[in-house]
Amino acid sequence: MKPFTKIFLLLALMLSAATGYTQTAQDIIRKSEEMRRGVKSSQGTMTMTLVRPNYTRSMTLKSWSQGDDYSLIVVTDPARDKGSATLKRLNEIWSWNPRIERVVKLPASMMNQSWMGSDFTNDDLVRDVSLITDYTQKLLKDSTITGRACWKLELKPKPGVPVVWGKLVFFIDKKDYLQIRAEYYDEDNFMVSTLQGLEVKTLGGRPMVSKLEMKPTEKKGNSTIMEFVTMQFDAAIPADYFTTQYLQKIR
Amino acid sequence: MLIQIAWRNVWRSRLRSGIVIAAIAIGLFAGLFFMGFSWGLSIQRVDSAIAGEFSHIQVHNPGWKEDHSTRDTVTGGMALIREIQQRPSVKAASARVMNEGMFTTARGATGIQIHGVEPEEEIALTHLNETLVEGQYLDSARGTPILVGKSLAEKYKLRLRNTVVLTFQDASGHVTSGAFKVSGFYQTVNAKNDQSKVFVKRSDLQALMGMDAEVHEIAILLQNPDSVPEVQASLVAERPDLKVETWKELAPDLRLIVDAVGSKMMVFMVIILLALGFGIVNTMMMSVLERTRELGMLMAVGMNKLRVFLMIMYETVFLTMVGAPLGMFMGWVAIQYFGKKGIDLAAFSEGLSQYGFDTMIYTALTPEFYIQVAVMVVATALISAIFPAWRALRLKPVEAIHSL
Amino acid sequence: MLFKIAWRNLWRNRRRTLITSASVFLAVLLAISMRSIQEGVFSNMVDNMTGFYTGYAQIHAKGYWDEPSLDNTFETTPENLNSILQTPNVKAAVPRLESFALVATDSLSQGAQVLGIDPEGENSVTRLSEKVTSGTYLRDGDQAVMIGKDLAKKLGVGVNDTLVLLGQGYQGYSAAGKYPIQAILTFGIEQMNKGIVYLPMAAAQELYVCDGRATSYVLSFDNKDKYTGTLETLKTTLGDSFEVMSYEELMPEVVQFMEADRGASVLTLGILYLIIGFGIFGTVVMMTLERQHEFGVLVAIGMKKGRLSLLIAIESFLVAMLGVVIGYAIAFPLVLYFQANPIPLGEEMAVAYATYGLEATIPMKFMPSIFLTQSLIVFVLVMTVVVYPWWRISHLQPVAAMRS
C-alpha cells in the first residue's frame, strides 16, 4: 500500500500545480494577503499626508508590527506632535502623548474618531475581519490598473460577519499578487471609498505597494496618502515593544 | 314668601334672567373646558413620558446609576422579570440589557446607546412598535434585527435591510462586535434622542455580551398608578440589593411640568373668574338699574331693605341653580367630545405641524375638578350679586318711582 | 349734532355709562394681562432655554453647523468682531471654540464636549459663574478647566485634581493637555452635567492648535424682540463665508415645545374672549332693556330708527373709548409692575425650579403691540354686540315700548 500512497500524493501535488494556472478567487486573495502580511514582523518609516480642501499636511511616522495583533506607531515629525504614539494590542488601542505624559486607552465610543486626523478611524486599525474566511470571493474579468495586469475580484461578506460593506472589489496584480486597488461599496452598490496604490517598489527585499491613497467618495477634496520610505521585514522585535510601558519610552 | 317672589321675578323677565343664566353657564363651561384642556395637555405630556420613557417603576443595580458600567447588572433579572409579570398589579414589565458603544455604517460611525429588549415586552410596555415609521418591528426573519432612529438613518443614508455593526465591551470587558440588519426605522418626538439610541433583541445582545440570566434594567407599568408606592415597597423588601425608583424620582423635571402647568392654569383661571364675576356684576347692576321703578315700588309698599337685598340674592341663587348645571353639562359634553376627537393645536400655531410634533390635545378632567370649578363659579356668581343687591338698598323709594 | 346728543346722553346717566364702560375696561385689562403673562412666560422660557447653552443667536463659519469640525472654524479678527458689534441692536458677541475630547484620569476616561470660552463674556450670555458649585470661576488666561458635576463623579475627581484632555486639533494636529480642575459646575440639564468641560479661550486655542480661531460667536441683543431683523443685517454684512443662526434654528426641538404652548395660549385667549364678550353683551342687553321706554319716546316724537341706531353706535363707541382709556390707565402700571416683580409660584416650586437654574415666577411682559391689538379686539367685540340694540330698535313698536 505504501508506494500507492506515495504515487497518490504525487498525483495530488501535480494536480494542484496544474490547477495553479486556473486558481480560484480565494487562492488569489489568500496569496495576496500572504504577500501583504505574510511576515512575522516588520518595521519601517513612512510619511502620511492629509489632503483637505483648504490645506495639505504631512507627518513622518515610525512603525513596528508583529503579525496582525500588535503594532506600534510613533510620530517623528512635525515637532509639535513628535513622540505621540499609538499602540495596538489585539483589539485595543492605547495612546501616548509626551505633552501630557499619560497613556490613555481609547474607549469603544472613541473608536469612530479619526486616527491622527486622517481618513482612517481608530476602528480601521483594529477591525479584524479576514478577507479569506469572512467573505465569499468571485473572479470578475481581468483588467489593467495603472499599467499593471490585474485580476478583478468581488468579495461579499458572509451573513452575520460584522462588516458594513455590501461588497468589496479588489484589483490584484498578477505578477506579485499586490493589492493595487480596493473599492468599498455599501449595500446599495454605491462606492463609498477607494484605496488606490500609487507606486510599487521593492522595500526590504519585497515588492510592495509603497504609496497608497485613501479617498472617501463623498468628501470632495479629502484624501490620505501613505508612503513607505524604508521597510525591514522579519527582524526580531523585542516583545516588550508592544506594551504600554514601552509606549512611554519611545522617541 | 320672599322665595316665591324671587322665583316669580326670575321668570317674569325672561330675557334678563336668560342673560344672567347664560353668563353663568358660559362661564362655567369655559372654565371647565379650559381646565379640561390644560389638564389634558399636562397629563398627555406626563403620560407620554411615562409610557415612552420612564414607566412607573424602574429597577437597577445601585451601581448602574453611578457610572452605567455594564458590570452592574440586576442579578437573576430574567427570573425576577417573570415573577414581576405574574403580579396582578402589574400591567406590563420589560427587562432590558443596555450598553454603550459604536454604531458603524458604510458611511461612518458614531457613538450610540444600545437597548437590548424583548420585542413583545416592549409592545406591551412602551408601545415601541408604534414608533415605527418604516419597515418591520425587530423582525428576526433576516438575521439579527436592529431598530434605528429615522434621523440617524438619514444621517448615514441607511436603508432597510442594510447591515450595521455595533462595537462594544462585553461582560468581561473585551471589545466585541456584531452585525445587525436594519429591520425598521423609528421616530419619536425627540429627534436628537433618536440619533443616539438603537434597539436590538435582548437575546442577541445578551449572547454577544456573554450574559445569560442578567439584565441591566427592569421597567414596570402598573394597572393603577396609585399603587406605585406599594409595589415599590414590596420590591424593595424582596430585593434590598437593588435600587427601585418611581417615575417621580427618575424624572423630577416631569413633576415640574405638572406643577408649572398647574400654576399657570390657576393664574389664568383667576383671570377667567374675574372676567366672569365682572360680567355678572355688570349684568346684575344693569338689571337693578332697569328695575329701579319696580324695586322703588316694593320699598314704597313697605318691603324693608333687608328683604329687598335677600330677594335679589335669592334671585341670583335661582339663576345660578339653573345656569350652573347647564354650564356643567355643556362643559362635560365638550370635554367628552374633545376627549375623544382631540383638539388640533396645529390650527392655532402654523409652526407646529412642520416638526411632525404630536399636535392633538385630548381634553380630560377628573370629577374633583368639576366640583372645584363649580364651587368657584357659583361662589363668584353669588359674590358678584352682593354688590348690585347692596346698590339696590341705596335706592330712595320716591326718587326711584319717579325716575323715568 | 348726533354726536352732541350722544355725549349728553352719556353724562345724563352716568351710572349706566360707568357700568358699561367698566365692562369694556375690564375686558381690556384682562385681555392685556392675559396676553402679557403669556408673552412674559414665553420669553422667560426662551431666556432660560437660550441661557443654558446656545444664546439667542450664533455666528459660525459657513458649513460648521452641518459639520462641526475644527476645520470649519474662522479667524477672530478685530474687523469681523467690529462689524458684528457695530450692527445696531447687537449688545455683545462672545467667541467660543467648541470641540470634542477624551477626558481622562490615570485610570478612567470619558468623551466630553470641550468649550473654550471668554470667561467674562460667556458669563454675560449664559451666567455661567452662577453654575459653579465648588471651586472658583475661570479667569482669562488661566490654564485650568471647569467640568460638569456628573463627569467629575464618573471620573472620580474634584477641585484641584488634574485632568488630561486628548483629542484632535485644527488640521489634524494632535491635541493634548493637562489641566487642574478649578471648578465643578451644576447645570439644570443632565447632558451638560455629564459631558462638558470649559477652559479659557487662550488655553483652548493652544490645545487645539487653533491660534486666533473660534467655532462661533454667541450673540446677545439690546432688544431681544427685534433679533430677526438684526440677524438679517448681519447676514448681509458678513457675507457668504459665515452662517448666522437664531436659537430657533439652533434648538428646533425646544421651539417645537414652545410652539405647542403658544397653540394652547391661543385657545385660552379664545375662552377669555368668550367670557368677556358675553359680559359686554349682557351689559348692553340690560342697557337696551332699560332704555326701551326712552327709545319708544324718541321714535314716537319722530326720530328716524336709522338715526337712533347711529346714536346708539356713537354712544357705544364713546363708552368703549372710555373703557379702553381707563383700561390702559390701569393696565399700563400693572403690567410694568409685574414685569419688574413677577408673580411668585410658592416656595416648593421655587426649590424645584432652582435645581434647574430657573426662577419659579410668572412674569408679565410689556409690549405696546399687545395693548394695541387687545384693545382693538375688545373694540370689535363691543361694536359687534351693538348689533343687539340695533335689532331691538328695528323691531321697536313705539307705543308698546313706552308702556314697558
Residue identified by cell 427685534 is C226
Q: Residue C353: pLDDT above 80?
A: no
Q: Residue C263's pLDDT is what?
A: 75
**Grid cell digits, residue C221:** 441683543
* First CA to last CA distance, chain B: 30
Is B151 part of the contact surface with chain A (CB cutoff 8 Å)?
Answer: no
Q: Please tell me the predicted confidence (pLDDT) of residue B194.
A: 84
**Tens digits of residue pLDDT in A235-249:** 888 888 888 888 887
Distance from CA of B29 to the nearest CA of C (A): 9
Contact list, B165 vs chain A (CB under 8 Å): 162-164
Percent of chain A with pLDDT over 70: 88
pLDDT at B119: 92
DSSP per-residue codes, C38-95: HHHHHHHHHHHHHHHTT-SEEEEETTTTTS--GGG-EE--HHHHHHHHTSTTEEEEEE
Between chain A and chain C, how many beta carbons pairs sit less than 8 Å apart? 63
- Look at B328-342, B346-360, C127-141 and tell me which has the smallest mean pLDDT: B346-360
- Of C357, C45, C351, nearest to C190 by C-alpha is C357
Q: Is B109's Cβ below 8 Å from some Cβ in A?
A: yes
**Closest C-chain CA to A97:** C176
Q: Quick check: C166 contacting A, CB < 8 Å?
A: yes
The pLDDT tens digits for B228-248 are 999 999 999 999 999 999 988
Angle between helical axes of B292-300 and B305-341 (0-180°, round to 10): 140
Task: Give the tens place of pLDDT for each residue, A62-104.
Answer: 999 888 788 899 999 888 888 888 898 887 888 888 888 888 8
Quote the longest CA-to-CA distance of chain B. 102
Instruction: Please give the average per-residue pLDDT across A25-35, as a whole number.
Output: 86
Q: Between chains, do C109 and A84 touch, taking CB under 8 Å as contact?
A: no
Scanning the structure block, which residue is given the C-alpha cell 467640568? C147
Q: How close A67 gets to chain B, by Cα (Å)?
A: 19
| A175: CB partners within 8 A, 6+ apart | A148, A149
pLDDT higher than 50, residue A136: yes
Q: State yes or no: pLDDT of A38 exceeds 90.
A: no
Instruction: Say which of C23, C34, C289 has its CB closest to residue B278.
Output: C23
| Distance, first Cα to last Cα, chain C | 28
Considering only A57-71, A153-167, B115-129, B273-287, which range has the smallest mean pLDDT? B273-287
Q: Tell me which of A93, A109, A114 to substitute to probe the interface with B (most B C-beta atoms closer than 10 Å).
A: A109
CA distance, residue B187 to nearest chain A CA (Å):
23
Query: Which parts of A120-230 fold into alpha helices (H)?
Result: 122-126
pTM of the entire structure?
A: 0.71
With b for 16 or more beta-carbon neighbours within 10 A and e for fewer, the C199-226 pattern comes to bbbbbbbbbbbbeebbbbbbbbbeeeee
Query: CB within 8 A of A38, min separation 6: which ones?
Result: none
Closest among C122, C110, C153 to C53, alpha carbons compared = C122
| pLDDT recorded at residue A16 | 46
Q: pLDDT at residue C216 above 90?
A: yes
Separation CA B115–CA B196 (nearest Å):
11
Q: What is the predicted pLDDT for the residue at B257?
A: 64
Taking residues B314-318, report their average pLDDT.
84
pLDDT value at position B85? 92
Provide the pLDDT for residue B403. Answer: 55
C-alpha neighbours within 13 Å on the C-beta side of residue A125: 28
Angle between helices C14-52 and C252-290 (to 10 degrees): 180
* Mean pLDDT, chain C, whole residue set: 86
Q: How far is B86 from chain C (nearest CA, A)?
A: 35
The H helix count followed by the E strand count for chain B is: 16, 12
* CB count in 10 Å sphere of residue C160: 10
User: Cβ neighbours of residue C396 under 8 Å, at least 6 residues apart?
Assistant: C295, C296, C299, C305
B400, pLDDT greater than 70: no
Looking at CA atoms only, how far is residue A91 from chain B in angstroms? 7
> How many B-C residue pairs are in contact by the CB < 8 A criterion?
171
Contact across the interface for B104 and A123, Cβ inside 8 Å: yes
A3 Cβ neighbours under 8 A, 6+ residues apart: none
In a 3-state reduction of DSSP, which class is residue B54? helix
Which other chains touch chain B, taking contact as 3+ CB pairs less than 8 Å apart? A, C
Considering C51-60, C135-144, C184-193, C219-228, the range whose residues carry the highest mean pLDDT is C135-144
- A104·C172 Cβ contact <8 A: no
**What grid cell was written down for C51?**
441661557
- pLDDT for A78: 86
Q: What is the pLDDT of residue A17?
A: 45
> Do the Cβ atoms of A117 and C168 come within 8 Å?
yes
Give the mutation candidate from A47, A95, A103, A223 for the C interface (greatest C CB count, under 10 A).
A95
Q: Which helix (H) or strand (E) holds C97?
A: strand C90-104
A49: confidence class by pLDDT, cuts 50, 70, 90: very high
Mean pLDDT in residue range B306-322: 84
B88-108 pLDDT, tens digit per residue, is 999 999 999 999 888 888 888
Predicted confidence (pLDDT) per residue in B138-196, tens digit: 877 777 899 999 989 988 889 898 889 898 888 887 778 888 999 999 987 667 678 88
Whether residue B205 has pLDDT greater than 90:
yes
Tens-place pLDDT, residues A168-179: 999 999 988 899
- Pairing of the two strands C174-185 and C145-148: parallel
C173 touches chain A (CB under 8 A): yes
Q: What is the pLDDT of residue B180?
A: 92
Q: Quote the CA–CA distance of C192 and B266 in Å, as a whole number.
A: 33
Q: Which residue, A172, C107, A11, C15, is CA-closest to B403?
A: C15
Interface contact flag, C271 B33, Cβ < 8 Å: yes
pLDDT at A128 over 70: no
User: Scanning every residue of chain C, which has its alpha carbon at the shortest distance from the alpha carbon of A49?
Assistant: C172
What SS3 class is residue B75? coil
- Distance from C-alpha of A144 to C-alpha of C401, rounded to nearest angstrom: 110
Cβ distance B167 to A165 less than 8 Å, yes or no, reads no
Task: Evaluate if residue B260 carries a pLDDT over 50.
Answer: yes
How far is residue C127's CA from residue C121's CA, in Å, rounded to a whole number? 9
C69 touches chain A (CB under 8 A): no
Q: Do A80 and C164 touch (CB under 8 A)?
A: no
Using one digit for the tens of pLDDT, what is the confidence trace for C65-91? 877 888 889 999 988 899 999 999 999
How does pLDDT run across B35-73, given as a tens digit for each residue? Answer: 888 888 777 777 777 877 788 999 999 888 766 777 888
Q: How confident is the model at residue C175 (pLDDT cuts 50, 70, 90)?
A: confident
- Interchain proximity A104–C111, CB inside 8 Å: no
pLDDT of residue B356: 45
pLDDT, residue A18, reads: 44
CA distance C30 to chain B (A): 6
Distance CA C162, CA B362 (A): 53
Q: Which has more confidence, C81 or B356? A: C81
Residue A81 to residue C171, Cβ atoms within 8 A: no
Taking residues B339-358, report their average pLDDT.
65
Verify whether the Cβ–Cβ distance C172 to A117 is below 8 Å.
yes
> What average pLDDT score do residues A229-239 get?
87
Q: Are C137 and C159 in contact (CB under 8 A)?
A: no
Task: For residue A15, name the pLDDT band (cuts at 50, 70, 90).
Answer: very low
Question: Measured between alpha carbons, how far is A65 from A72 in angstroms, rounded to an integer?
Answer: 6
**Res. A13 pLDDT band, cuts 50 70 90:** very low
Q: ipTM score of the complex?
A: 0.73
pLDDT band of A180, cuts 50, 70, 90: very high
Tell whether A197 lies on the interface with B, counting CB pairs under 8 A. Answer: no
User: Is there a contact between C289 and B16 if contact means CB atoms under 8 Å apart?
Assistant: yes
The fraction of chain B above a pLDDT of 70, given in percent, is: 90
Please identify which residue in the block is written with the cell numbers 469612530. Answer: A112
For the cut 60, the answer to whether the pLDDT of residue A4 exceeds it is: no
Q: Mind giving me the DSSP string for B13-39? A: SHHHHHHHHHHHHHHHHHHHHHHHHHH
Range of lowest pLDDT (B345-359, B385-399, C226-240): B345-359
Residue among A113, A120, A224 with most chain C CBs within 10 A, to mutate:
A113
Which of B151-155, B249-253, C254-258, C278-282 holds the top average pLDDT?
B151-155
Which residues are bridge partners to A209 per DSSP?
A200
Residue B204: band (very low, low, confident or very high) from pLDDT cuts 50, 70, 90 = very high
Cell numbers found for residue B344: 388640533
**Confidence at residue C143, expressed as pLDDT on a 0 to 100 scale:** 93
Query: CA of A195, closest CA in chain B: separation in Å?
Result: 15
CA distances from A188 to B107, B162, B163 (A): 12, 8, 11
CB count in 10 Å sphere of residue A77? 12
Q: What is the mean pLDDT of residues B307-334?
A: 87
Alpha carbon A83 to chain centroid, angstroms: 23
pLDDT tier for residue C219 given thresholds of 50, 70 and 90: very high
Residue A221: CB atoms within 10 Å: 9
User: C216 vs B283, which has greater pLDDT?
Assistant: C216
Whether A184 has its CB under 8 Å from any CB of chain B: the answer is: yes
Q: Average the pLDDT over C17-26 and give the result.
A: 84
For C165, phi then psi, to 5°, come to -110, 135
Lowest average pLDDT, out of A136-150, A210-224, B297-311, goes to B297-311
Q: Output the CA angle A19-A20-A21, nearest 5 degrees.
A: 85
Mean pLDDT, chain B, rounded, equals: 83
Which residue matches cell numbers 519585497?
A206
Report how far residue C18's alpha carbon sits from residue C190's, in angstroms, rounded to the nearest whole number. Answer: 56
Q: Say whether pLDDT at C344 is over 50.
A: yes
CA pair distance A99, B245, nearest whole angstrom: 45
Which residues lie below 8 Å from residue B283, measured CB to CB, with a gap of 6+?
B19, B20, B23, C279, C282, C283, C285, C286
**Grid cell locating B82:** 417573570
Q: Judge: B106–A186 Cβ closer than 8 Å, yes or no.
A: yes
pLDDT at B349: 58
| Helix %, strand %, coil % of chain B (to 5) | 60, 20, 20
What was the pLDDT predicted at B402? 63
